[in-house]
Amino acid sequence: MAQTVRRAIEARYPSCYIPSRIKERRAKARALRMEKQRKPDKPEDFVCYSDSDSEEETPAQQHTVLSTSYNFVDYVRSREIQAPEPRSVDPSYATRHMLTHDMFRETPVNLGNMNKVFCSQWLSDRQVVFGTKCNKLMVYDVRSRSLDAIPTLRPRAPWPGAEHQTGIHALQINPSRTLLATGARNSCELAIYSLPTLDPVCVGEAHKDWILDMCWLDDEFLVTGSRDSKLALWRAPPAPAALRAPQHRFVAPVAVRECRAGQKVRALTFNTKWGEIAALTLNGYIHVFSASTFRQSLSRKLPSCQDLVCLATQESGIYAIGCKSYTLLLDCRTLQSVKKITSRYNGCGIRSASFRGHMLTIGTGLGLLMFYDLRAGKYLESNIHSSKTVTLKASKGYVFPDEEADGFNQVKYVPAIYTHCYDDSGTRIFTAGGPLPAPLIGNYAGLWQ
């Protein structure tokens, strides 16, 4: 949870320097090794070993362990008095504690007759912005429970027709939280707004088909991926000076790259640690581009993957790919499969995925949010109900009455969770989506806190 390297004030060692902690640490490490050495029913294709597998620790390592307090009270006191002690806290601890102790409760969000929420991000501690299939960009205030519509940016060319107005599929905020990138009124174009005012900045024109995902490389450069099998690199212009009537300019990309061996870019992510862009295409390939040169370095065919939808990256560099019936973890250095996380529910398509520390959050097509502990190598287990994994089940949401959907309504309807996002504290989760079948019109949104 928290780590504070204590320093002795009067005595030779700090108060947490208790030698018996080494014996307890060795016993826990031994038990963990025995658990890992148990032969699973199906052996893993790829196994990684670390230095922690060694039972022996050097005197210097033992001294560091004994001088480190893992007490949260020590962390808070050290921070309050601004002591010159190295200290850190696990940002995912609050989320993990609330999940394992069954503390999250859902507050449904009424979206009226909107159709399917595809993407979302927290703007601040009280506002969430999201985009829908019906081309609406909305801001939800979690305190007043009000919805505000943000005007979508018009294209410069003549209106191409309704076939190019297929929804806002992606939405990303730059690291300094000064710019918001999303889809324009024409789903083939990029729109950038300034924050926190949400004034329009520019519209980017390059793609010939829908933009399905995007990612910021830094505060200025952005990459978009489209169904035209191309990636475009953009440079966001400076926000215009305050005018009476907000205006936006039209910009061209810095560079456009064809995704070789790929068909229709479905998802993008930026691996900060290794400085590379990973792209997922619908023909079952993952592609890697260098962020510094914007050139494709390698491609790999994924093993027997169907219905590839989402892609996420952990800080350490692990890629998570959501497939039809499981989540695939890849080592970013080799693109080899590290682990295949099978779903605990049949017919459960993975629709969204994100990392928070060592915890992988998975949104499914059955209205369930699941949580996988990477360090333990299993789904997060409840501390309240023994032998039960932690899941959050979404409420029903809204489905537009449709005669063609009579056969579908005969079975119990559950919404698909197309998007989810945590606030900065990790104590609130916004989940949203809608009906999984494409012809059905409906929506779902909920705030867990």
Contacts of 192 (CB under 8 A, 6+ apart): 179, 180, 181, 182, 200, 201, 202, 203, 204, 222, 236
Contact of 333 with 340, CB cutoff 8 Å? no
CB atoms within 10 A of CB 36: 12
The DSSP 8-state label assigned to residue 381 in this structure reads B
Least confident residue range of 43-57, 130-144, 380-394: 43-57
Average pLDDT over residues 398-426: 75
Q: Residue 252: pLDDT above 70?
A: yes
User: Is residue 253's pLDDT more than 60?
Assistant: yes
Band of pLDDT at residue 15, cut at 50, 70 and 90:
confident
Beta strands 442-448 and 429-434 are antiparallel
Range from 38-52, 85-99, 251-265 carrying the lowest mean pLDDT: 38-52
> What's the confidence (pLDDT) of residue 244?
58
More confident residue, 448 or 8: 448
pLDDT digits (tens, 9 = 90+) for 110-134: 999 899 999 999 999 999 999 999 9
226-237 pLDDT, tens digit per residue, is: 999 999 999 998
Q: Which two tokens stand for residue 388?
A: 């039960």
Please give the pLDDT value at position 403.
Answer: 40
- Which pLDDT band, with edges at 50, 70 and 90, does 255 fall under? very high
DSSP symbols for 91-143: TTHHHHHHHHTT---EEE---TT---EEEEEE-SSSEEEEEETTS-EEEEETT
pLDDT grade, residue 404 (50/70/90)? very low
What is the C-alpha separation between 448 and 266, in angstroms, rounded? 28
E-state strands within 133-210: 137-141, 146-150, 171-173, 179-183, 190-194, 200-204
Task: List the helix and strand counts (H, then E) for the chain.
Answer: 5, 34
Q: What is the pLDDT of residues 78-96, one digit of tens each?
A: 888 888 888 888 878 889 9
Instruction: Flag the least confident range among 173-177, 218-222, 243-247, 319-323.
Output: 243-247
Neighbouring C-alpha atoms within 13 Å toward the C-beta of 374: 25
Q: For 62-74, write each residue's pLDDT tens digit.
A: 888 888 888 888 8
Mean pLDDT over residues 128-154, rounded? 94
Residue 1 has pLDDT above 80, yes or no: no
- The predicted-structure confidence for 340-355, as pLDDT tens digits, reads as follows 998 888 767 899 999 9
Going by their DSSP bridges, the two strands 265-271 and 326-331 should be labelled as unpaired
